[in-house]
Amino acid sequence: MARLELRKVGKTFNNFEAVKSVDLTIEDREFVVFVGPSGCGKTTLLRMIAGLEDITSGDLYIDGERANAVPPDKRGLAMVFQSYALYPHMTVARNMGFALKMAGVPKAEVEEKVRAAARILQLEPLLDRRPRMLSGGQRQRVAIGRAIVRNPKGFLFDEPLSNLDAALRVQMRIELVKLHQDLAVTMIYVTHDQVEAMTMADRIVVLNQGHIEQVGTPLELYHQPANLFVAGFIGSPKMNFFPSRAVAVGRGDATLELSPNHALSFPVPSGMSPGALAPGASVTLGLRPEHLFLANDGPLSGQVDVVEHLGVETLAYIKAVNGEMITVRADDLSPVAAGDRVSIALHPGRGSLFDAGGKAIFHLSPA
C-alpha cells in the first residue's frame, strides 16, 4: 500500500521557486512518470517525496499520514538514483543487503532476501562482484535490487536509464514495466525523455517551470494535449503548429487563415460550445506528422528539404510556401526525395486547435 497525496507542495531554493504548489494524488500500485524539460522541477519533486529535500510549503501524505517530517528511511519508499549510487567498495550482495544489515536484520535473513531479489533480476552470478566490474545495465539492476530488498511500498526512480545506450534503454524499460507488474507496488519515475514516459507510465505528469501542465494517460496526452506545451513536448517528431486566424466559424467546420490568401477548412466537433471559437480569434492549429500525408492535391504545399528513412517509416521535412517547416510521416515505401515539390493533405478527423493563450479548444479523434 502506498497512496501518495501532494497538497499544494512547493519548494523554494534561495528565492527561486523550483516547485510551485503542486496538487497530485498517486494511487496505490500506479506507475506514474514525471516528465518535463530540464529545470522543470521534476527531480526536486521526487526528492521531496523521498525526503531528501525539505518541503518548503504544502503537505505530503503517504497512506493518509502527513509525512513532511518523516525521515527518508521511515517513509517506506526506496529510491534508484540516476548515477546508481552503488557503494563502490562493497560486493553486489553487500550493496543489496546493506540497509537490512544496518537495520539489524539477522544475517541469514538478509542473505535470503538478497538471494530472492537477485533471482528476480538475474543477478545471481554477479553477487560477489564489485560495482566497477559490472556493465551499466548490470549496475542499474543492482541499484534496483538494492531497492527491492528493502521491500518498500513504493519505488522512486530518478532518470535511471539515462546512462545506458539506446538498445539497452529499450530493453530495461520493458523490464521495469514487468517488474512493476510483478511487484505490484507504486512506482514514481522521473525522466526528461517523453518516449520513456509514453511507454512506461500508467499516468504521466507533465511538468514545466515548477508547475503541472497536464496529468493523464499516455494516449490522453498524445491525442488530447491540454495546451501547446504538452502538444509540443509529447511525440517525436514534434507536432506541427500552424499559427492562424479563425476567419469564419460554421456549424460543422471553421475556416482558418494560415497566412494571407491561404485559408483552410477544418472540421469542428459538434459538441463544441458556441463561444469557444469566435471568428477573428488567433488560434494555433496542431497537426501531428501522421495527421498529414503526401497527396497529389492538398491544401498545403512546399518543397521537400530533408527525407529520413527509418525503415518502417519515412519522415519528410518540407519547407512550406510561407517558409515554415512541416513534418510529414509517410510509410516506408514512399518515393519522396529531397528537392521534390509536394502537396500535403490532412487526414480527416485528426488534429487539435489551441487558443491564443495556448490552451486547447478541441481535439479531433478517430471515431
Partner 1 sequence: MEQEKASLAGTIVAWLAAFVMFFPILWMVITAFKTEEQAIAIPPLLIFHPVLSSFGAALAQSGYIHFAENSVIVSLCSTALAVLIAFPAAYAMAFQPGKRTQDLLVWMLSTKMLPPVGVLVPIYLIFRDTDLLDTRTSLVIVDALINLPIVVWMLFSFFRDIPRDILEAAHMDGVGPRGQMIHLLLPLAAPGIASAALLAIILSWNEAFWSINLTAAHAGTLATFIARYSAPEGLFWAKLSAASVLAVAPILIFGSLAQRRMVRGLTVGAVK
User: Residues in the site for its own copies, rule: CB under 8 A?
Assistant: 38, 165-167, 170, 173-174, 177-178, 181, 192-195, 198-200, 218-219, 222-223, 234-238, 288-290, 305-306, 308-312, 315, 317, 329, 332-333, 338, 366
Binders of partner 1 in range 114-173 (CB under 8 A): 146, 150
Q: Is 86 in the site for partner 1 (CB under 8 A)?
A: yes
Contacted entry of its own copies, partner 1, none for residue 99, CB cut-off 5 to 8 Å set by kind: partner 1
Q: Is 13 in the site for partner 1 (CB under 8 A)?
A: no
Task: Output the smallest distance, CB 60 to partner 1, in A.
Answer: 16
Which grid cell sits at 242? 500552424
Which grid cell sits at 326? 512541416
Contacted entry of its own copies, partner 1, none for residue 203, CB cut-off 5 to 8 Å set by kind: none
Contacted entry of its own copies, partner 1, none for residue 177, CB cut-off 5 to 8 Å set by kind: its own copies
Which grid cell sits at 25? 494524488
Contacted entry of partner 1, its own copies, none for residue 87, CB cut-off 5 to 8 Å set by kind: partner 1
Total residues binding partner 1 (CB under 8 A):
24
The residue range among 38-46, 76-84, 304-312, 348-356 that interacts with partner 1, by the rule CB under 8 A, is 76-84
Q: Is 81 in the site for partner 1 (CB under 8 A)?
A: yes
The answer to whether 33 and 189 are in contact (CB under 8 A) is yes
Among 1, 103, 278, 321, binds partner 1 (CB under 8 A): 103
Binders of partner 1 in range 294-313 (CB under 8 A): none
Single out the residue of 128, 146, 158 nearest to residue 86, CA to CA: 146
The single-letter DSSP state of residue 74 is G
User: Which ranges of 184-237 does DSSP label H, i.e. alpha helix?
Assistant: 194-200, 218-223, 228-233
Residue closer to partner 1 (CB basis): 105 or 195:
105
Residue closer to partner 1 (CB basis): 147 or 307:
147
Task: Output the smallest distance, CB 164 to partner 1, in A.
Answer: 17
First-last CA distance in the chain: 38
Task: Output the smallest distance, CB 205 to partner 1, in A.
Answer: 22
The residue range among 58-66, 75-83, 282-290, 341-349 that interacts with partner 1, by the rule CB under 8 A, is 75-83
Q: Which element (helix H / strand E) includes 148?
A: helix 136-149
Euclidean distance between CA atoms 165 and 180, whole angstroms: 22
Q: How many helices (H) and strands (E) does the chain have?
A: 8, 21
Q: Is 187 in the site for partner 1 (CB under 8 A)?
A: no
The answer to whether 19 and 210 are in contact (CB under 8 A) is yes
Residues 6 or more apart from 359 whose CB is under 8 A from it?
226, 227
Contacted entry of partner 1, its own copies, none for residue 85, CB cut-off 5 to 8 Å set by kind: partner 1
The tally of CA atoms less than 13 A away on the side-chain side of residue 56 is 15
Cis peptide before 237 (omega within 30 of 0): yes
Euclidean distance between CA atoms 213 and 229, whole angstroms: 8
Question: What mask of x and - would describe binding to partner 1 in positions 33 to 52, judged by CB under 8 A?
Answer: -----------------xxx
Q: Which residues of 27-48 are buried (b: 16+ CB within 10 A; e: fewer)?
A: eebbbbbbbbeeebbbbbbbbb
Which grid cell sits at 133? 566490474
Which chain residues interact with partner 1 by CB under 8 A? 50-52, 71-74, 77-79, 81-83, 85-89, 98-99, 102-103, 146, 150
